[in-house]
């Protein structure tokens, strides 16, 4: 396991669309482990997407204090409601702004064993799931900042 460097600012990798993971193998597990180590080492982050460490694969990790969520090829199946709150990002450490997100999401993905899992999240978990999945599509929260 290793701590990876977070890509920041106008790094072009942050604007690219990530490729799906075709096979969950040792290399993918190593990337997930490195992402978890990196997220925990940073201290103030609650989510990390593979592009943020320079890997254009559809992998996210989240820790909002209720245990690690690891998702490979995450896909939003359902969203409901609305919430507006301030967001920041490890890749844009000096920026923040109000972003509208769904209050509830249901997300399908694979776990590290290659098994399909469904994650349902409300409030902050819904926000972080959407934020990290956006990263996989080259979308940053600054693209969604709203004025109140």
Q: How far apart are CA 29 and CA 1, in angstroms?
A: 10
Q: What is the pLDDT, as a whole number, of residue 147?
A: 73
Cα torsion 131, 61, 122, 65: sign: negative
Q: Is 132 considered catalytic here?
A: yes
What pTM does this model have?
Answer: 0.96
Task: Return per-residue pLDDT of the chain as tens, 148 residues.
Answer: 699 999 999 999 999 999 999 999 999 999 999 999 999 998 788 999 999 999 999 999 999 999 999 999 999 999 999 999 999 999 999 999 999 999 999 999 999 999 999 999 999 999 999 999 999 999 999 999 997 5
Domain assignment of residue 47, yes or no: yes
Domain assignment of residue 4, yes or no: no
Domain assignment of residue 1, yes or no: no
What distance, in Å, lies between the first and last C-alpha atoms of the chain?
A: 42
Catalytic residue among 87, 100, 115, 132: 132
Domain assignment of residue 46, yes or no: yes
Q: What is the pLDDT, as a whole number, of residue 59?
A: 98
Domain assignment of residue 3, yes or no: no
Residue 135 CB partners (closer than 8 Å, separation 6+): 14, 18, 49, 51, 52, 60, 91
Domain assignment of residue 7, yes or no: no
Domain assignment of residue 75, yes or no: yes
Q: What is the domain range of residue 121?
A: 12-143
Say how many domains are in the chain. Answer: 1
Q: What is the pLDDT, as a whole number, of residue 67?
A: 93
Domain assignment of residue 20, yes or no: yes
CATH classification of the domain holding 99: 3.90.45.10
């Amino acid at each position: 396991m290793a701590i990876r460097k977070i890509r920041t600012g106008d790094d072009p990798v942050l604007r690219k669309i990530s490729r799906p993971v075709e096979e969950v193998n040792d290399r993918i597990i190593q990337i997930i482990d490195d992402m978890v180590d990196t997220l925990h080492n940073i201290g103030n982050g609650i989510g990390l997407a593979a592009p943020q460490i320079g890997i254009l694969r559809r992998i996210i990790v989240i820790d909002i204090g209720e245990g690690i969520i690891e998702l490979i090829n995450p896909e939003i199946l359902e969203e409901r409601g609305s919430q507006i709150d301030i967001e920041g990002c490890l890749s844009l450490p000096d920026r923040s702004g109000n972003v509208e997100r769904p209050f509830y999401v249901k997300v399908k993905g694979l776990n590290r064993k290659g098994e399909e899992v469904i994650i349902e999240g409300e409030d902050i978990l819904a926000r972080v799931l959407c934020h990290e999945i956006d990263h996989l599509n080259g979308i940053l929260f600054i693209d969604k900042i709203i004025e109140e």
